[in-house]
Amino acid sequence: MTLQNDLFLRAVKGETTERTPVWLMRQAGRILPEYRAVRAKLKDFKELVSSPAFAAEVSIQPVDLLGVDAAIIFSDILVIPDAMGISYEMKEAKGPYFPSPIRHEADLAKIRIADPMADLGYVLEAIRLTKKELNGRVPLIGFAGAPFTIFAYVVEGSGSKTFSVARRMMYENPALSHQILQKITDSTILYLKAQIEAGADLVQLFDSWAGILTPAHYEIFSLPYIQQICEAVQTAPKTVFAKGAFFARKSLAKLDCQVLGLDWNMDIAESREMIGKEKTLQGNLDPCALYGSFADIKTETEKMLRAFGKTRHIANLGHGVYPDTDPDKVRCFIDTVKNFRG
């Protein structure tokens, strides 16, 4: 099917575009009243993620309501550990909780390599439904959590400011850490390949907790596993977003991916110099900028666009849009990108 709007995929490839394409991380979610109306019909967040028809509906909402240049499938990075036998609960206002975290060699017996068809078929069906409903309007992004970020949750047992339990294992038992990371990696490769087969046009790896590692540990416990995934997944382009890993930009530049996401703390000019001209950069407006006035949002967005320049850029925030952001402020950001010709 020919895409009606292929700006996003052309920018991914480094081709010239009439304007900068734009989408937002967490664009399908609580900022939209229409999302909250769907969510109210269901028992909890996990039920929404595992209901293909509802997941497809909220994936498409930002295309219809905000005018973004790409949809991203509504899911969660923690479906992978769930599919591997490490079940989690999503506690309201507290986030994910793993009743049985992975802490010891004996716990490895609990973990299986996920079978995407059997264990994650609901995500694949959501992708197929979303793709059908989009009907070629914009591309569809699939995603997964990077292995270290998943490791951090399943060892810690919940979200954390420091993930000290997970980081402690890397010092005390690096061999076990690598065994867990490899199983997550093997599962993620199969999962992303299945997403592409189901219709995803690009897949993004979210290394959401990259910034809590030392530079040395990031080189040992994160990058090699991301590279394994990038090398194994060759049937669609890939984006890697390593939040907080400002210290690893030169290493990230060597990954077999087409796009690197920048968070709002990464200087644009410095990042381009470190990463080079062969990769498209994505980002990186501070999500808090969307709390400003409409005039300020326009000013900050245009400043960002000028810094990135006209080529190899996908406009986005430097992290996910915050849930209490006014949808009209989000529209202001998107419209400013679409109207900018600087």
Residues with a known catalytic role: 26, 30, 39, 76, 153
Q: Give the CA radius of gyration of the chain.
A: 19
Phi and psi angles of residue 97, each rounded to the nearest 5 degrees, phi first: -140, 130
Q: How far apart are CA 320 and CA 317, in angstroms?
A: 7
Q: Which two tokens mark 200?
A: 């995803």
Amino acid at 190: L
Q: How far apart are CA 167 and CA 333, in angstroms?
A: 37
Residue of 76, 43, 44, 81 lying closest to 59 (CA atoms) = 76
Kindly report the length of the chain.
342
Q: Which two tokens mark 218?
A: 């990031």
Residue of 192, 198, 104 lying closest to 146 (CA atoms) = 192
Scanning the chain, the segments in alpha helix (DSSP H) are 7-12, 33-39, 45-49, 52-65, 79-83, 116-119, 121-134, 147-156, 164-172, 174-198, 215-221, 223-232, 249-252, 268-275, 294-308, 327-339
Contact 136, 130 (CB under 8 A): no
Residue of 12, 24, 5 lying closest to 283 (CA atoms) = 24
**Cβ within 8 Å of residue 286, ≥6 positions away:** 264, 300, 317, 318
Q: Are strands 280-285 and 259-261 parallel, antiparallel or unpaired?
A: parallel
